[in-house]
Amino acid sequence: MDFILQNMEAVLRVRNKHTFHPMREIGGFKTCPGYCLQNGAFELPVGINFTVTSQGATSVELVLFKRRDPEPFAVLPFPDEYRVGNVYSMIVFGLEIHEFEYAYRMDGPYDPSRGMLFDRSNLLLDPYARAVAGQSGWGTRASSEPAYRGRVVSSNFDWHGVRSPHIAMEDLIIYETHVRGFTRHASSGVMHPGTFDGLMEKIPYLKELGVNAIELMPIFEFDEMRDMRVHDGNLLLDYWGYNPVAFFAPNTAYSAEHEFTNEGDELRRLVRTLHKNGMEIILDVVFNHTAEGNQDGPIFSFKGVDNSVYYLLAPDGTYYNFSGCGNTVNCNHPIVHQMIVECLRYWVIEYRIDGFRFDLASILGRNEDGTPMHNPPLLESLAADPLLSGVKLIAEAWDAGGLYQVGSFPSRDNRWAEWNGKYRDDIRCFLKGDSGKATAASYRIVGSPDLYQHTSRGESASINFITCHDGFTLYDLFSYNVKHNEANGWDNTDGESFNNSWNCGAEGETDRREINDLRRRQQKNAIAVLMCSRGTPMFLAGDEFGNTQFGNNNAYCQ
């Protein structure tokens, strides 16, 4: 990335030397046309390059703020000569990246029935923002900041020559965990609980377990305060993070020091230390929806920049909801397609991420009208992209719109592995003694050849799991026959009702020794089967010591 910026700087020097694009003062700053081939805001030795794309906007303004100030200190309209097609690009001189934050205002037609939501009064977060202001401490938002704002980051981290261990898929043992949840409790014994640094402190524990890859639940900047509410005296937040605000930015609340863009370097330190210890890192990424929700949701970024481009819209302008979260990202629109590819490249280049697990990945294969595609352009691009060629691609091969593609997920050149939901279901039924399940279980144990052999992907395409963040923990799987999600505040209506669980003779906690002994044996049986199955095993954090959620199988807000 530094090499690219240096070459861009050389081009700009030559261009300005020959006065092809003379300087122009706007809003009190010297400016010139920017490098329009790179979206987002990034630092050059001569200034800051701001580039944003909008197909429907008629005019765009760059709005600059001093850090934490509620009012802007400068507003810079993009002149027509700084626009190439639908791309607005400008270099601003005299800015110091540690001293300002930025947003955009866009003017254009407002017609919700046609998917047009342009409103010049809205402050809009850059879809390519590499860091986000407006939220830092967990569950807090600075009241003086009216909206999310972008920050510019520098790229000068010292990796000490450490490289990824490049572990083959068939040799991985994956441990799914949550950055905050893994160390937030005092019993973790870390100095920085609930942060990237706290997780780094627990690497010796992970090595002792024998896992060699961690899969982190979402770390993109997300809004844990969406749908924040109090139930039975408890403050409930959207804890898991499947509620993205900015795809390019690490979550500021996972930083041990809430100062200027520390979250990026803290994540890099975590990755460097994992790699140094022979472990890989996989990110759970959410490109299927955003925190802007449906037509009743807020407008803070994508809706205001280009609503009809970024989202799948019905003919009346309302949002298709294949995600179950209010909206669906229009993944195969060329502009969105490009953004997702560039986003993943960014995480690989700047953070050296080893793999990605795609939440509700079947949405990534839907057309602009919502129908499934045979060879989805986005999935084809991800599989064939040279910069992503060494990266593991893992699909949650279904979505909330009824599309289920376990064993049939579009996989160019056999690049994609899948969360094998059929493994989970068949092994659960087998372990609790359901009749007629031995044959199905045997197929799962030998690598699910019925699912993967005919596609030539083989057993390494199967990510085997019995538990994950969705559903019961391993302890609860053998302690509850039904879900107990009352603490979520939805009268136990949320969460999956068909869990293939068995309480071993008593619902929930019990003092009966024979039941507790049976439960422990069943947990051991499950782990033994998982480790002896062909494919790639994945464990849920906490299952190794019998973590319980007291029957809650949808603990997203706990």
Active site residues: 359, 396
Task: Select from 335, 386, 337, 393 the least CA-distant residue to 364.
Answer: 337
User: 491: Cβ–Cβ under 8 A, 6 or more apart, which residues?
Assistant: none
DSSP 8-class letter at 320: P
Q: Which amino acid is at 269?
A: R
DSSP 8-class letter at 38: S
Order across the sheet with 59-66: list the strands: 74-77, 59-66, 100-107, 149-151, 131-133
Task: Select from 61, 141, 153 the least CA-distant residue to 98.
Answer: 153
Which tokens hold the place of 103?
Answer: 């947003």
Is 288 exposed, middle or buried, given 0-12, 13-18 or 19+ CB atoms closer than 10 A? buried
CA angle 390, 391, 394 (to 5 degrees): 140
Taking phi over 0 as left and psi of -120 to 50 as alpha, with beta for the rest, 219 belongs to alpha
90 vs 82, 218, 409, CA distance in Å?
A: 6, 32, 41
- Rounded to whole angstroms, the Cα distance separating 333 from 56 reads 14
Which tokens hold the place of 307?
Answer: 């609503």
CA angle 547, 549, 552 (to 5 degrees): 150
The values of phi and psi at residue 524, to 5°, are -65, -40
Which tokens hold the place of 272?
Answer: 């460097």
- Rounded to whole angstroms, the Cα distance separating 512 from 515 reads 6
Residue 287 Cα to chain centre, angstroms: 7
Contact 359, 285 (CB under 8 A): yes
User: 55: Cβ–Cβ under 8 A, 6 or more apart, which residues?
Assistant: 86, 306, 308, 309, 335
Contact 44, 8 (CB under 8 A): yes
DSSP 8-class letter at 46: T
DSSP 8-class letter at 4: H
Contact 443, 450 (CB under 8 A): yes
Task: Select from 532, 509, 529, 88 the least CA-distant residue to 305.
Answer: 88
- Length reported for the chain: 558
473 vs 432, 524, 547, CA distance in Å?
A: 15, 13, 7
Q: Which amino acid is at 22?
A: P
Is 235 exposed, middle or buried, given 0-12, 13-18 or 19+ CB atoms closer than 10 A? exposed
